[in-house]
């Protein structure tokens, strides 16, 4: 197994036209892109209906010496499983604003389209979110019953099963980014969800250590335990900075503020032990991309993403192909 491709997740770069983004990503040192299906990066509806547009995307990537191994659908998938929430107006088309059932229907149909578009692009991984109808029940007061939790997981299975049928038909896998706000947000909620989807091999995980570290989990243990369903990997860092006043729940204060108890950081500037992650990936035989999702409100994004690319290329060492003490045996 050689060194893995280092790609840039473009979720935070969707303001840039595709050609400009490709030129910048190549300049920053990346091998490819995990293309976001919104903004100016990848028009999912157009790609679904217009093969010439798909060819334009492929030609643009090739022109800049880049590849695409995954597409990102986070804001679309969120609309599938969330309870009615006015914040989803920011994700769905304006025509669906304040119409929860229309927002959900749009999310379901668009997620189905993402499997078709992925296949057209020669991509077999779609990353994203599922949403959660029970996230608001996280702190169990008023009391949350076990049945309410069970019903929430079962609703996700019901809503996502027709989508996963389309993924199976197109031989594409969906990789959920375990993340606060999702039905699976930590270790045991992930375990429960994967048990619910035990007979759906097209459903797996997009591993992102930054969402685990601040919750108190050890990311490489999560990675190892769920190795059979890890379909894609994000490289992203976070730092916990509890000082006696700050808290893990964020105090309704925006990212980047020093008043928060944790923040996302550029790679190598946080608390994640990436060497242990690489060792587990080597043990797993994972040969997919390492996708940098760059989020650091305290650093220039071009400087930060350039440094992050170099960091990943340095830390991604190959597994040994022989035992070190074989050279001293008789």
Report the CATH number that the domain containing residue 174 is assigned in CATH.
Answer: 3.20.20.150
Burial class from Cβ neighbours inside 10 Å (0-12, 13-18, 19+) for residue 216 reads exposed
The pairing of beta strand 230-235 with beta strand 125-128:
unpaired
Cβ distance 135 to 84 under 8 Å? no
Confidence of residue 319 (pLDDT cuts 50, 70, 90): confident
Sequence-distant (≥ 6) Cβ neighbours of residue 165 within 8 angstroms: none
Cβ distance 120 to 35 under 8 Å? no
Token digits of residue 187: 């270790």
- Reply yes or no on whether the pLDDT at 322 is more than 90: no
pLDDT in tens, 106-150: 999 999 999 999 999 999 999 999 999 999 999 999 999 999 999
Which range is least confidently modeled, 30-34, 230-234, 317-321?
317-321
Number of domains in the chain: 1
Cβ distance 30 to 302 under 8 Å? no
**CA 89 to each of CA 12, 32, 78, 86, 137: distance values in angstroms, whole numbers, following the listed order:** 19, 31, 11, 6, 22
The pTM score is 0.96
CA–CA separation, 234 and 312 (whole Å): 11
Q: Specify the pLDDT at position 2.
A: 55
Q: Report if residue 329 sits inside a domain.
A: no
Burial class from Cβ neighbours inside 10 Å (0-12, 13-18, 19+) for residue 142 reads exposed
Mean pLDDT, rounded, of the chain? 96
Q: Cis check for the bond before 142: say yes or no (omega within 30 of 0).
A: yes
Token digits of residue 213: 């570290």
- Give the domain extent around 31: 6-322
Q: Report if residue 169 sits inside a domain.
A: yes
- Reply yes or no on whether the pLDDT at 80 is more than 50: yes
Question: Helix and strand tally (H, E) in the chain?
Answer: 11, 10
- Reply yes or no on whether the pLDDT at 156 is more than 80: yes
- The b-or-e profile of 198-209 (16+ CB within 10 A means b, else e) is eebebbbbbbbb
Q: Specify the pLDDT at position 308.
A: 98
Q: Report if residue 62 sits inside a domain.
A: yes
Which parts of the chain are beta strand (E)? 6-9, 32-36, 67-72, 125-128, 173-177, 203-207, 230-235, 237-240, 262-265, 290-292
- Per DSSP, the three-state class of 180 is coil
């Amino acid at each position: 197994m050689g060194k893995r491709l280092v790609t840039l997740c473009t979720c935070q770069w969707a303001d840039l036209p595709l050609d400009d983004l490709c030129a910048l990503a190549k300049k920053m040192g990346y091998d490819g892109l995990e293309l976001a299906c919104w903004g100016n990066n990848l028009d999912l509806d157009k790609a679904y209906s217009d093969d010439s547009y798909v060819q334009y995307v492929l030609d643009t990537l090739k022109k800049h010496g880049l590849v695409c191994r995954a597409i990102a659908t986070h804001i679309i998938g969120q609309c599938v499983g969330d309870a009615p929430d006015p914040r989803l107006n920011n994700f769905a088309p304006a025509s669906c604003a304040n119409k929860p059932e229309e927002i959900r229907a749009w999310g379901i149909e668009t997620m189905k389209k993402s499997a078709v578009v992925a296949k057209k692009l020669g991509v077999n991984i779609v990353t994203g979110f599922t949403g959660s109808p029970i996230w608001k029940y996280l702190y169990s007061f008023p009391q949350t019953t076990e049945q309410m939790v069970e019903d929430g997981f079962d609703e996700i299975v019901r809503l996502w099963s027709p989508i996963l049928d389309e993924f199976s038909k197109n031989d594409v896998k969906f990789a959920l980014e375990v993340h606060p706000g999702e039905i699976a947000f930590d270790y045991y909620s992930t375990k429960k969800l994967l048990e619910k989807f035990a007979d759906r091999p097209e459903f797996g995980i997009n591993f992102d250590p930054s969402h685990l570290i601040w919750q108190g989990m050890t990311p490489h243990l999560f990675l190892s335990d769920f190795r059979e369903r890890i379909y894609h990997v994000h490289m992203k860092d976070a730092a916990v900075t509890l000082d006696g006043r700050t808290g893990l729940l964020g105090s309704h204060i925006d990212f980047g503020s020093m008043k928060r108890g944790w923040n996302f950081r550029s790679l190598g500037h946080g608390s994640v032990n990436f060497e242990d992650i690489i060792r587990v990936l080597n043990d797993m035989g994972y040969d997919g991309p390492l996708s940098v999702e760059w989020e650091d409100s305290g650093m220039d994004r071009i400087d930060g993403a350039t440094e992050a690319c170099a960091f990943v290329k340095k830390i991604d060492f190959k597994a040994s192909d022989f035992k070190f003490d074989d050279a001293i045996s008789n």
